[in-house]
Structure 1
Amino acid sequence: MRVRPSGGPDFEVVHERRGSGAPVLLLHGIGHHWQAWEPVLSALAASHEVVAVDLPGFGASPALPPPYDYDLGTVVPLLARTLEALGIERPHVVGNSLGGLLALELGLHGHARSVTALSPAGFWTEPERRYAFGVLRGMRAGASALPDGALRGLARTAAGRAALTSTIYARPGRRSPEAVVAETRALRDAAGFAPTLAAGRRDDVRFTRDLTDVPVTLAWGDRDRLLPPRQGVRAKQTIPGARLVRLNGCGHVPMNDDPARVTRVVLDTVARATA
């Protein structure tokens, strides 16, 4: 889909759209793609219109053209324009990691009816941010160094899938070989990866403002190795009215570890907004 902002060049966003009903927008994390939501997508689409997007520069979406940057002040308005292009007004927004931070920003600027943020970025200390960025760069370097043949071979075994994805999944054995190959390639090929990390370093990205106009759920996997669960306590302090949910047995990307639990958390948040 081509998005045409006013006052800037067009850009393209690849998306998956399923179901009917009140709209739900799904935003993935850095280096991932919309297929990260596949474990919960059909369940959510049973009662809602669900749109999962590849953020610009990730998955199959091309990089943003110049002069666009990847800082929040640029990406959030572009996502708002993407919603207009999709014909969606104030969806329920669900995001993971980077996508969780973007979901909160969309809620802050009036573009979301409710927000469900799964291990959102932006509640770290500086040492925690440096650690997370270092892990992400290591994952990217590993993905870039693997020839496709070796990648497919690793993905065929449970031990290989664990080696490739245990940083973000508590239960990597639940990922199919095909999914692991696809998401490793998505990480390797993401044109937005380096500029997003650069924007995060440059702007000292943190979420520091309360959201009082929309229901907010903050959900954290208790086995999150990238953004530890203690960051959820800080998030709750920043947004006192938010519901903080512990996702037992889940890692940084919980949709794969416990899709039924994540689906319930999202639908509970949507129900609060509807009520």
Structure 2
Amino acid sequence: MTGVTPLLAAEGIDFAYGRGRPVLRDVSLSLAPGESLGLVGESGAGKTSLLRLLLGLQSPTGGRVLFDGTPLDRRSGAEMRRFRRAVQPVYQDPFSSLDPRMTVGESIAEPLRSLRVTTDRAGRAARVAELLAAVDLPADAATRYPDAFSGGQRQRIAIARALAPRPRLILADEPVSALDTSVRMHVIELFQRLSREQGIGMLLVSHDLTIVSALCARMAVLESGRIVEEGPTARLLSEPEHPYTRRLLASVPRLPRPAGR
């Protein structure tokens, strides 16, 4: 997408925890508006650390994160509110991502209040009802608590919460790995529908190439804190160039047709 300003980008990112060994080294990647990118690698490759930097939860020790072409300034409350309206996370564990003391409706509405998207109660209630319908949950779910729902339903609630401020991009960290196999495809289909109908971009962090092939047209491979290969998912799955990518592929018995094919 030459000429299009990336919505979110990392430029030459280095990162280490304290004085420890670097976790990320010279990592660069970008997402155009509406694009879906899969970030894959084994446990310990640095995927979650990179995600935290891209979410503005920590600052890189070198390089920079850009939002809409401008370096992200974590010290600016107004800028971070604008950023969090546009970029929302979905985490791995649906059991820990929701406050058990809040009703589902309160949890979904919380970003609308904290990010100053909707100030009136009626407006928040209407948005909650709209979001519950979007993730195929009944309207009365708003009055119930998270422990009344299954793992797959809780992940749908977490997705509804992420969608509340009408983001342009979702950063998803292993969003289906904690779910039963029978539930995973329902959540994957939900992500596919949101991308198709609402044009929301996605950075999907995963060790599972099957999930990435279903959701992402482009893929980046992270090994020991470095991007070793990047390109269209279809090409990387059919003609991987780097030995590490080949090893990842060899661990997957059979892959479905990649997204966009």
- TM interval, shorter chain, is under 0.3
Higher strand content, 1 or 2 = 2
Higher helix content, 1 or 2 = 1
Name the TM-score, length of structure 2 as normaliser: 0.27
Higher relative contact order (CA 8 A, sep 6+): 2
